[in-house]
Amino acid sequence: MISVDRTLMSTHHDREFVGFMTTGPPVIFPEKIWMWVSAPKVKVDGEGRPKFASYGLRKIEVALQDAGFKAAVIDPDSLGPYLKRAKAFLVGHHDYFAFNPPSSEWWLVTGKEPVNRRRLLEFMSRAADVKRRWNQDMKTVVGGPSAWQWLYTPNYLDEFLVDTIVEGEAEKLVVRLAEAILDGEPLPRYVSIAPRDSPRIEEIPTIKAASVNGLVEIMRGCPRGCKFCNVTLRPLRMIPLDMIEEELRVNAGAGIESGVIHSEDVLLYGADGIHPRPEPLIKLHRLVKRYYKAMAWSHASLAAVVAAQREHKLITRLSEMILGENQDFTGFQTGIETGSPRLARAVMPAKAAPYPSERWPEIVEEAFMILHEHRIVPAATLIVGLPGETPDDVMKTIELVERLKPYRSMVVPMFFVPMGVLRREDWFRSVNLTRDHAELMLMTLRHSVRWAKDIISTFYLRGAKLAPVRFLLSYFLGKVAKFADGLTPDQILDHIEEAKERLAASKAKEEPVIRPLAKLKAVLTHS
Amino acid sequence: MPPPTGDVEIVLEGCPPQGSAPKISSIVSKWARMGAYRFIFTIKGARFEDCLDDLHDVIQSFIFASFTVREDGEPLGLPRITVRSANPGIEIVEEVT
């Protein structure tokens, strides 16, 4: 049985970015409405299998099925009967305890526990209770990109009866674990998979059931070597077009008309080093558009945007392929991280390549201009408080954000939190913001709210079906805009200090693990 | 002497004493330079959760390597490093079988 809590088992109204709301606590709206907007329930079949599930869970599901195991992704609301008899309960998540950005930012800024964490704790607590009472032999295995967070919360390993933590690309390992479980062998408590043991292309299975928002992986790894990112250590692998097509066919067969192609840097698919090449990218986009009416990239680098356009007019050519009758904009996630060439050279020396790090701010601005002209919306991150950051670095980032004002985009600051402090209950005290940081946060808030209102009303949530979501999100953004209008950097600093105090006070109480006994009884009664 | 494969077993006799992570990491580094990249920790007489204070620094520091941590279990027949508490600090015994 493979599952995850509702915040990840949802199509987010077929809008990937709406899913980001689950990384914050419910504000302005009550949690029920917040969840309905950000993570509505997904359709399930008679056996509790969701019509759409996270891509990572689908990969694990198919790896086990191909090896002959009876394995399936199960919706969190349908776990009851399975928990009492399953041999193994596998959970995959990309931010178990809300330690990753942006969850950690919202947690710190509001002083309230993000909804993804609340839901995960509730989900794990419910499963552990059933295991404790009826199925003590069931093995609980946790994995996914944020599996490392369990090492920082050993109390939850105990509380939720977790047997094994798996870090890394697990398609091969999960089969060995499943064999060990069925053979009654003792499981390791922790396994991490070295980059050189990552599955080769031919060892990566293709999904057999539909993924959330039609996500299909086109590449693994990244050649840019940024110091704050571990994806860069994995071997670079291009998924061949025939494998991509198999997955597109599965998703299209499930009725998906709009999907995301996933890579750390989509424009490097088939690239010559870090120089994008037209032929593979055009073939890829032509293939995707044969199956999906609308498409988006998960991530791309801003340097690749500039190189693609300067060298081959490729952004123009690709946008002509993507946009048309069924789609009038697209978007992706990207990293600016800093506006300081000095800091860029120190922590992400190849981020600007093939251009020198000294030109990084100009590359960012040029990329934003290119994207704006082609109706492609970047959602960009900044990292605040990187090791070695000076006040001058922050000023350069502020100057860059100022220059990005005319371009349709989202810009979100993220706090650098050293991993070592996450084991401390008062980890949030390690985030010490200056007035310049607060000014930067205020600029990005105003920038993002202004453009989010434009994006929602112009492109993102059009149509009668999405009218209630559009109304609620517009209402929410209106409130945030009003709040941001009167805000000063000093007020931000005061607000964050107050939030830290609230967090400290809540930590002093019992951990906020919810034990919904009434719900648990209901689940068990139905099972 | 280089290990015969990339695999090495590290036996922890109890949780590593507080502050021992740098010493264990330096042993891992040394064996990694000799070609090891899969490190299998066997914790004897203690629970994984209880050893994380120092152990997590080791298993999260070598991103090129894979780590497996098990509680007890038979010897694996691999090159073996045994780590035990000593007064003061820790004692480390390296054996290439």
pLDDT per residue over B62-83, tens digit each? 878 999 999 998 889 899 999 9
pLDDT of residue B19: 86
Selected residue with higher pLDDT from A364 and A226: A364
Task: Give me the pLDDT at residue A55, please.
Answer: 97
Which residues in chain A have their CB less than 8 angstroms from residue B67's CB?
Answer: 190-192
Q: Are A189 and B38 within 8 A, CB to CB?
A: no
The whole-number pLDDT of residue A516 equals 32
Contact residues on chain B for A193, CB-CB shorter than 8 A = 66
CA atoms of A190 and A81, how far apart (whole Å): 28
Query: What is the tens place of the pLDDT at every residue in A194-240?
Result: 888 899 999 999 999 999 999 999 999 888 888 777 777 778 899 99
pLDDT score, position A428: 65
Looking at the DSSP bridge assignments, the partners of residue B70 are B42
Selecting from A190, A194, A230 the residue whose C-beta is nearest the C-beta of B48 gives: A190
Give me the mean pLDDT over the A315-334 stretch.
94
- In this predicted structure, the answer to whether residue A63 has a pLDDT above a threshold of 90 is yes
> How much is the pLDDT for B97?
64
How confident is the model at residue A518, as a pLDDT? 33
Kindly provide the residue ranges of all beta strands, DSSP E only, lying in A200-351, ordered along the sequence. 216-217, 219-220, 237-238, 258-262, 294-297, 330-337
CA closest to A229 among chain B residues: B63
Share of chain A above pLDDT 90, in %: 66
Q: Compute CA A194 distance to the chain's CA centroid, rounded to the nearest angstrom.
A: 22
* DSSP H or E run through A454: helix A435-455
Q: Is position B44 within any domain?
A: yes
Contacts of residue A155 in chain B, CB cutoff 8 Å?
49
* pLDDT of the residue at A40: 93
Whose tokens are 């990969």? That residue is A59
| B7–A contact, CB cutoff 8 A | no
State the pLDDT at residue A165: 98
Neighbours of A186 (CB within 10 A): 11
Chain A contacts of B69, Cβ < 8 Å? 188-191
Region B27-47 average pLDDT: 93
Domain A215-487 fold is pyruvate-formate lyase- activating enzyme (3.80.30)
Please give the distance of CA A374 from its chain centroid, rounded to a whole number.
25
Chain B residue with minimal CA distance to A169? B66
User: What is the pLDDT, as a whole number, of residue A511?
Assistant: 43
Interstrand relation of A330-337 and B38-44 (parallel, antiparallel or unpaired): unpaired
B67 beta partners: B39
Can you list the alpha helix ranges (DSSP code H) found in chain B?
21-33, 48-59
Between A414 and A352, name the one with better pLDDT: A352
Q: Is the pLDDT of residue A492 over 80?
A: yes
Chain B contacts of A423, Cβ < 8 Å?
53, 56
CA distance A341 to chain B (A): 27
Of the spans A228-237, A459-468, B79-88, which averages the highest pLDDT? B79-88
Mean pLDDT in chain A? 89
Q: Which amino acid is at A173?
A: L
Give pLDDT, residue A510: 41
The answer to whether residue B80 is domain-embedded is yes
Asked if B19 has any chain A CB less than 8 Å from its own CB, the reply is no
Query: A235 CB near a chain B CB, below 8 Å?
Result: no
Structural domain count of chain B: 1
Assigned domain for B2 exists? no
Q: Give, in degrees to the nearest 5, the angle at Cα A501 between A496 and A502.
A: 95
* Residue-by-residue DSSP string for A461-501: T-SSTTHHHHHHHHHHHHHHHHHHHT--HHHHHHHHHHHHH
Give the Cα separation of B60 and B81 in Å (integer).
19
**pLDDT band (50, 70, 90) for residue A420:** low
Q: Which candidate from B37, B66, B70 shows the least CB-CB separation from A189? A: B70
Phi/psi of residue B84, each to 5°? -140, 155
Asked if the C-beta of B63 comes within 8 angstroms of chain A's C-beta atoms, the answer is: yes
Q: For A157-171, what is the mean pLDDT?
A: 96
> pLDDT band for position A419 (50/70/90)?
low
Where do the structural domains in chain A lie, given as residue ranges?
2-197, 215-487
pLDDT surpassing 60 at residue A521: no
Residue B78 falls inside a structural domain = yes
Report percent pLDDT > 70 for chain A.
93
Q: Give pLDDT, residue A103.
A: 86
State mean pLDDT over A496-503. Answer: 81
DSSP A345-410: HHH-TTTTTTS-GGGHHHHHHHHHHHHHHTTEEEEEEEEES-TT--HHHHHHHHHHHHHTTTS--E
Specify the higher pLDDT residue, B2 or A9. A9
Highest mean pLDDT of the ranges A105-109, A152-156, A298-302, A493-497: A298-302
In a domain, B1, yes or no: no
All residues at 6 or more sequence positions from A356 whose CB lies less than 8 Å from its CB, including other chains = none
Alpha carbons A404 and A407: distance in angstroms, whole number: 6
Average the pLDDT over A259-287 and give the result: 96
> Residue A325: its pLDDT value, please?
85
B93 and B85 in contact (C-beta within 8 Å)?
A: no
| Facing A194 at nearest CB: one of B48, B66, B73 | B66
From A201, A218, A204, select the one nearest A266 (Cα to Cα). A218
Query: Which of B57, B63, B69 is the closest to A188 by Cβ?
Result: B69
The pairing of beta strand B38-44 with beta strand B7-13: parallel
The reported pLDDT for the residue numbered A437 is 92
pLDDT tens per residue, range A65-83: 999 999 999 999 999 999 9
Asked if the Cβ–Cβ distance from A189 to B69 is below 8 Å, we say yes
Least confident of A1-10, A27-36, A253-262, A350-359: A27-36
pLDDT of res. A418:
66
